[in-house]
Amino acid sequence: MTTHTERVSNLASKTLTTSLIVIGIILLAIGGYASLQVFLQGHEAVYAVNREVPWGLLIATYAYFVITSTGLAFIGGLGHAFGFEKYSKMSKRIVVMAFVILLAGFTQIGMEIGHPIRLMIYLILSPNLNAPIVWMGVFYGIELVILAVELYIIFKPNKKESDHNTAKIVGFFALLVGVLATSNLGYVFGSLNARPFYHGVYFSIFLVISGITAGAALLLAIHNIIYKFNVPENLYSSMKALGKLMGAGIGVMIFLYLWKILSSLYTQPGDSYLAAKALLTGPLSINFWVGELVLAVILPLAIIVFSKASNMKALGIAGIVFMIGLFFTRYDFIVAGQLPPMREGLAGSGVHTVNGLAQYAPSATEWMIFALGWGVFLVLYFLAERFLILDTKEH
Amino acid sequence: MAKKRYAIVLDASKCLNCKACTVACKLENDVPVGQETYRIWVTENRLHGNFPNLTQTFQPSQCQHCENTPCASVCPTNATYKTEEGVVLVDYDKCVLCKACMTACPYDARFVDEHLAAVEKCTMCYHRLPDRDPACVETCPTKVRVFGDINDPESKASKLLAKNSYYRLKPSVNTRPRLFYVD
């Protein structure tokens, strides 16, 4: 029998999820309108990506979503396959969130690529196995299937012992393929002969580490939102474990940042140097110092350290702040490497530069497609919260 | 008989910056008008010297038709490919507009053509070969560009390379361009 307090709490929770679904629908409508513009006018007319900076906001948002998804799958895999019980207490939310945010990522790449259907056809008919994008498609495609299987298993009624064993195996492969997919995404950029800022092993590692950190941050944020910053006690140990994971992730990110930036500065006058300068003092400097460092590193880490990863509300805030900051991290990563021009912007060259760097700022339509991604996430995820039981009772 | 290896040898010191090559290219290949839609370009290098003894040189250029082809390596659908003569082409029907080739090209030689709904670039006017020279070569009043088969020692291009020292753009990226600039 439910108490009065529980009934009030359930009602409030339903109001909250409904509100978030409505916000999601509004974002979907905005994104839908933008998609129509893209279909009617063409990418070139409505997107601000250009000859010098061909990849922009949508690739950044794609990376933001899909890498967070694989980070979630990693944490889910730790719970399912490696017996980290603290994480397995959240397994339903993890799988639903990973699946939905992966779909949100696919909307971004779908609207970025000029011929997404043709891509699927020619990936089968005429694949270039040397091209990292082929493997990106393969790995993320497999990841989507694995997550769909996991979804089926966790919501299957009357689970048998064999289902738990299957869940372990599937969870392990979600973790493995997720890491492969994300590190391969680093290779997509690392394989670009012309862009030395992306070369080397750095981004493959950074994306995996920041993805796992993002998975933890999103779980901390969403749990606080769902429970209105009043997380139930039975989840305290899981939340603390996620807080520690997130803190450790940020710690490794600081380490990686330090050496990447320093080593890039020493390539002067090369393109890595120019990209690093664009981050430190150039057109991306506000993004870098405020977004990447303050929001995605300093504030969340300070919150975790000072709260000793044991204050649930503080962890929720750290998660939200980190997820906002991480957007700048992804955006800067995509754009910075492309700002050094391939040819000097002299008269007649056709290259447009300001202070020796190419220029890019997202168009309104690109921002509206960005809203589409968030709309997909909010609507699908909070519909799941609203109509499915995502609390994991036992494992 | 050895395969043909098409190349363009340029003597940039002959360039007047008349831009006839860029116009000829646009007309021959139906390249859309636009700030970013061009297959070839003529860069006006910085002035040398002090007034009144000033000199300006120009650097006409285009897709380098690299032997080691970064754009083709990253193309997921093999839309970018090399002909047996080494001309780098795009199969527009296979291009998915992922733009990986544009980010991979060290020469910024590619762009999106809305009319073709594909990424395009210089084709060395492959449709005219071997009977006619590429449009930019044919139209140049001072014969900056010389097109030819560099596997044929009797071709004009081979002879120019034999008689002159030359350089290729961005040797550090190891693309081995088929555009040679004589000193």
Q: What is the pLDDT of residues A210-247, one digit of tens each?
A: 999 999 999 999 999 999 999 999 999 999 999 999 99
Q: CB distance B43–A346 less than 8 Å?
A: yes
**Residue A140 with chain B: CB contacts under 8 Å:** none
The answer as to whether B10 is a domain residue is yes
Which site among B68, B103, B110, B111 would you substitute to test the A interface, given the most A Cβ atoms closer than 10 Å to its Cβ? Answer: B103
**Residue A351 with chain B: CB contacts under 8 Å:** 108
Residues of chain B that touch chain A, judged by Cβ-Cβ distance less than 8 Å: 17, 19, 35-36, 38, 41-46, 58, 70, 72-79, 94-100, 102-108, 110-112, 114, 117-118, 173, 175
User: Per residue in B38-47, pLDDT tens?
Assistant: 999 999 999 9
One-letter identity of residue A299: L
Closest to A191 measured CA to CA, from A200, A202, A182: A200
Q: Which domains does chain A have, with CATH numbers?
A: 48-362 (1.20.1630.10)
Q: CB distance B77–A347 less than 8 Å?
A: no
Distance from CA of B126 to the nearest CA of A (A): 23
Closest to A214 measured CA to CA, from A93, A98, A358: A98
Those residues with Cβ within 8 angstroms of residue A370's Cβ, 6 or more apart along the chain or in another chain: A57, A58, A61, A108, A362
Distance from CA of B129 to the nearest CA of A (A): 27
Which site among B44, B98, B114 would you substitute to test the A interface, given the most A Cβ atoms closer than 10 Å to its Cβ? Answer: B98
Q: Which of A87-91, A190-194, A199-203, B22-26 has the highest mean pLDDT?
A: B22-26
The answer as to whether B52 is a domain residue is yes
Q: CB distance B43–A126 less than 8 Å?
A: no
> How many residues are given for chain B?
183
User: Which of A153-162, B7-16, B151-160 shows the lowest mean pLDDT across its residues?
Assistant: A153-162
In chain A, what percentage of residues exceed pLDDT 70? 96
One-letter identity of residue A50: N
Q: CB distance A55–B44 less than 8 Å?
A: no
Query: Could you tell me which chain A residue has the CA closest to the CA of B105?
Result: A194
User: Which of A77-81, A249-253, A375-379 shows the lowest mean pLDDT across its residues?
Assistant: A77-81
A152-166 mean pLDDT: 83
**Residue A130 with chain B: CB contacts under 8 Å:** 73
B96-114 mean pLDDT: 97
In this complex, the residue of A113, A137, A191 whose CB is nearest that of residue B73 is: A191
Q: CB distance B108–A51 less than 8 Å?
A: yes
Instruction: Determine contact, residues A369/A108, Cβ cutoff 8 Å.
Output: yes
One-letter identity of residue A24: G
- On the CB side of B19, CA atoms within 13 Å amount to 12
The answer as to whether B17 is a domain residue is yes
Q: Could you give the angle at which helices A57-80 and A364-387 cross, rounded to 10 degrees?
A: 30
CA–CA dist A327, A192 (Å, integer): 23
User: Per residue in A260-286, pLDDT tens?
Assistant: 999 999 988 899 999 999 999 999 999
What are the backbone angles phi and psi of residue A243, rounded to the nearest 5°?
Answer: -60, -40
A113-125 mean pLDDT: 94
Query: Could you tell me which chain A residue has the CA closest to the CA of B56?
Result: A347
How far apart, in Å, are the Cα atoms of A267 and each of A261, A273, A343? 10, 5, 18
Q: Taking CB atoms and an 8 Å cut-off, how many pairs form between chains A and B?
A: 131
**Residue A343 with chain B: CB contacts under 8 Å:** 43, 107-108
Query: Could you tell me which chain B residue has the CA closest to the CA of A188?
Result: B74
Q: CB distance A113–B104 less than 8 Å?
A: no
Q: For tokens 């005429």, name the residue.
A: A126
CA–CA dist A204, B110 (Å, integer): 27
Q: CB distance A193–B75 less than 8 Å?
A: no
Residue B182 bridge partners (DSSP):
B166
Angle at A317 between CA A315 and CA A318, to 5 degrees: 60
Closest to B99 measured CA to CA, from A287, A199, A105, A194: A194
**pLDDT in the model for residue A161:** 78
**pLDDT in the model for residue A1:** 47
Q: Taking phi first (over 0 means left), then psi (-120 to 50 degrees means alpha), and beta for anything else, what does residue B97 get?
A: left
Strand B145-149 to strand A357-358: parallel, antiparallel, or no bridges (unpaired)?
unpaired
**pLDDT in the model for residue A394:** 53
Query: Could you tell me which chain B residue has the CA closest to the CA of A199?
Result: B104
How many domains does chain B contain in total? 1
**pLDDT in the model for residue A393:** 64
Can you spell out the DSSP letters for B57-74? -EEEE-----SS-HHHHH
**Residue B106 with chain A: CB contacts under 8 Å:** 193-194, 342
Q: Note the pTM of the prediction, 2 decimals.
A: 0.94
**pLDDT in the model for residue A245:** 96
**pLDDT in the model for residue A89:** 82
> How far from the centroid of its chain's Cα atoms is residue A225's Cα?
18
**Residue B74 with chain A: CB contacts under 8 Å:** 131-133, 191-192
Asked whether the predicted pLDDT for residue A2 surpasses 60, the reply is: no
Which site among A122, A139, A346 would you substitute to test the B interface, given the most B Cβ atoms closer than 10 Å to its Cβ? Answer: A122
> How far from the centroid of its chain's Cα atoms is residue A374's Cα?
11
Q: Two tokens at A230?
A: 């009043």
Q: For chain A, what is the mean pLDDT?
A: 92
Asked whether the predicted pLDDT for residue A11 surpasses 50, the reply is: yes
**Residue B76 with chain A: CB contacts under 8 Å:** 119, 122-123, 127-128, 131, 133-134, 137
User: Per residue in A301-317, pLDDT tens?
Assistant: 999 999 998 899 999 99
Asked whether the predicted pLDDT for residue A163 surpasses 50, the reply is: yes
CA–CA dist A237, A243 (Å, integer): 10
The answer as to whether B1 is a domain residue is no
One-letter identity of residue B107: Y
Q: CB distance A126–B100 less than 8 Å?
A: no
**Residue A118 with chain B: CB contacts under 8 Å:** 77, 94, 96
CA–CA dist A369, A358 (Å, integer): 23
B52-59 mean pLDDT: 94
Give the model's confidence band at A79: pLDDT under 50 very low, under 70 low, under 90 confident, else very high.
confident
Q: CB distance A348–B36 less than 8 Å?
A: no
**Residue B173 with chain A: CB contacts under 8 Å:** 193-194
For residue B18, give the CATH number of its domain: 3.30.70.20
One-letter identity of residue B160: L
Asked whether the predicted pLDDT for residue A13 surpasses 80, the reply is: no
- Domain region containing B14: 6-182
Closest to A302 measured CA to CA, from A281, A312, A317: A317
User: Which of A81-95, A330-344, B38-52 shows the lowest mean pLDDT across its residues?
Assistant: A81-95
Q: CB distance B79–A127 less than 8 Å?
A: no
**pLDDT in the model for residue A193:** 87
**Residue B175 with chain A: CB contacts under 8 Å:** 193
